[in-house]
Structures are given as C-alpha cells and as structure tokens.
Structure 1
Amino acid sequence: MALSRFLAAVIASVMLASLPVRADEIQDINLQFRKGELPAALEHANRYLAKNPKDAQARFLKGLILGDLGKTNDAIDVLKGLTEDYPELREPYNNLAVLYASQGRYEAARNALEMAIRSHPDYVTAHENLGDIYAKMAAIEYDKALALDSKNTTVQTRLKLIQTMLGGQATKPAQPR
C-alpha cells in the first residue's frame, strides 16, 4: 500500500478544490511533489507552514512528501496530527493507514481506516483498503496456524487463496490504490 504519486496527486487536488484558497503556493508545492522534486517540495511546504501552521492542505502534502521520501515515521506524525486537528477529513486517515500497513502495523491501519469510514461511510477506497488489511491479518493468522500444523489442508487452501488475491504477498502491504 505504498503511496503512488498519481493517487497522492489526485487526492491532493481534491483537497485543493475543497478547501479555502491559498491556491498558488499550495499548487506550487503540489506541482513540485508531482514532478518528484521532493526535497524542494518539502522545503517549500515547511516555509509555507511556518507562516500557516494550521493549513490542512499544506500539512497533508507535507505528509505525502515525507512518505515518498521514506520518512515514514515523520509522515505518520504529520498525518496523525492532521486527523486530530481535522477529524472530518477522510484522506489523512487513509494515508495514515497506508503508512501503518507499510510498517506491518495492521491493527493501527485498521483503526485509521475505520475512523475514515465512520465519518465517511461512502469512502470506497477506505473500504477497499480495509478489506486488504483484513486479508493480510488473516494471512498472518493462517501462517501461524500452519506453523502449528503444517499438514492442515484447509488452512493451506485458505492461505493460498489470500496470497493469490494479494498478488502472492500475503503478509506484505498491498499495492497503491
């Protein structure tokens, strides 16, 4: 469930359209992000946030940028703060779940997705990602069951089914949505 630049750009664009206008600077940061100019985008976001620390769009973009830079824990901190300050926004919960899942923290990912769904029951991506999380959690339990009884054909069949569904990577994060 690593973030793809395309998905992140689409989500950022939706957030840009739905929140108040500071568009020029935010759009510049988003453009740098989409172009893959991650260090410059992060620096720009930090400068902007120094003047506008509560700006949800800029904070969200910063979280995406940090995630793409591989600074997962920093990205989690940013997105977690965003969910605390703006619990009505669904995208930060979903992206927080993606980051948790990338660390194998499936319970935390599940909780974040459930929060997104609680506030937005029609959020298809969160439902889909939650299904993937449950499948990964099931695969982990089936692996444990097979470690205890390697000849259990029912568990073997179920694990193979989940591995096939998840592209052969039963206990690794799913692909981006």
Structure 2
Amino acid sequence: MPHPHPPLRRAVRLVALALALCATTAFADDYADVSQLMRSGQHAQAMVRADQYLAAKPRDPQMRFLKGVLQTEMGRSADALATFTKLTEDYPELPEPYNNLAVLHAARSDFDKARAALEMAIRTNPGYATAHENLGDVYARLAAQSYGRAQQYDAANTTVGPKLALIRQLFPPAARGAAQPAKAAGS
C-alpha cells in the first residue's frame, strides 16, 4: 500500500538534508551518510551509522533528530516519540522536533497533543511555515471532531452538516490514511 502522505516524506527528507548541509565539515560526512542511507531505503544501515555516531556524541541534536526521522520512517513511532520528546527537553529552542512530535501525535489522532506541540514549534520560530500549516490541519481535524459530536447530539441541527462536509472535502477518508498533519521536518 502506498504511503498515505508522500508530501510528508519529501518534506521530512528535505529538512534532514538541509540539517546535514548546515553541519560543520567535520561532521557533515556522518550526517550526509545517514541521510543518504535513509534516502536509498537502507534504514537498518542508517540506524547503525546513527547509533555509532551517537555513541561518541550522545547529545548531538542533529543526529538525534535524524535518528527520530529514521525511527518514524521505520514505523517505530513509539521510539520516535521518545527521541523527539527528549530533543524538545534538551533543546527547547529547536522547532523541528516539536513539529515532528505533532505529526506523530496526530497520526494517533491525539490532536490536542499535536496542537500543543505545534504551538511550541511556532513559539520557538514564529516564521515556521510548516508548523503553521500543520496547525491549521490539526485545527480542521479538531473542528471535524466537534462537528461530528454536535451532529450526534443534535441530528436536527442543519448548520453542522455543511461544515463537516467542507472539512471532509479537505481530508477525504480515502486520502486520510493516518490522521496526521501534512508535513514533518527531516529526512
């Protein structure tokens, strides 16, 4: 089955590549190697390389971020949640780990946690367009939940149905897959 959010994967890869390019020359090869292995689908090898690097430099935020993205791509969302959460604790000034936490929370339909994480991302970087877009998506999902509950409690209310239909046009059930914001940062 194809990945439900191809733009998400592209955005993840672009940010990770940008992080790797911004690294100092001494570490650029390590970041680039992990990124290249990820791009070529060699996830196990990328994880080995990231873990080797982090054994020597366990607090490196860029490699930890890449590892979180890799864990996400490998379907290890619990590990990725732990990685990104720890990054936000150790480096609260970085917006990307908050954004990726939000994507993981939204994938679990935990939109309140996703909203809180995105608000932190925006607080750390008010110009972070991806976080703003994702926050809009989360608000739309929260609105859909509220409209759905309103419809359950008052089926005669004729104003709710059209609002819910508009949101369903934005996020059709077939394209929805995992309910998550559009874009993660990294990989």
Normalising by the residue count of structure 2, what TM-score does the alignment of the two structures yield? 0.87
Does the CA-based 8 Å contact 1:2-1:174 persist in structure 2? no
The residue identity in structure 2 corresponding to 1:133 is V
Per the alignment, residue 18 of structure 2 pairs with 14
Are 2:146 and 1:154 equivalent residues in the alignment?
A: no
Q: Which moved more, 1:164-173 or 1:36-45?
A: 164-173
Q: What is the aligned-residue identity percentage?
A: 42
Q: Which residue of 1 aligns with 2:68?
A: 63
CA RMSD across the alignment: 2.0
Larger RCO (CA within 8 A; separation ≥ 6): 2
Structure 1 residue runs without a partner (length 5+):
none
For the pair 1:53 / 2:58, whether they are aligned, the reply is yes
Where do residues 131-142 of structure 1 align in structure 2 (5 Å cutoff)?
Answer: 131-142=136-147
In structure 2, the partner of 1:83 is: 88
Alpha-carbon displacement from aligned partner over 1:106-133 (angstroms, at most 9, x marks no partner):
1111111101101111111101100100
Superposed CA offset, 1:85-119 (max 9, x none): 11121111111110110011111111111011011
Gaps of 5+ in 2: none
For the 8 Å contact 1:32–1:40, the answer to whether it is kept is yes
Which one of the candidate residues 85, 97, 100 is aligned to 2:102?
97
Distance 2:96 2:23 in 1: 13
2:113 to 108, 117, 123: 108
Residues 6 and 34, structure 1, Cα contact 8 Å, conserved in 2: no
* Alpha-carbon separation, structure 2, partners of 1:121 and 1:62: 25
In structure 2, how many angstroms separate the alpha carbons of the residues matched to 1:170 and 1:14? 28
After superposing on structure 2, the runs of 4+ consecutive aligned residues of structure 1 that deviate more than 3 Å are: 1-5, 17-21, 167-171, 174-177
Counterpart-to-counterpart distance in 1, 2:127 and 2:38: 28
Equivalent position amino acid for 2:21 in 1: A
Letter in 1 for 2:179: K
Residue identity opposite 1:107 in structure 2: D
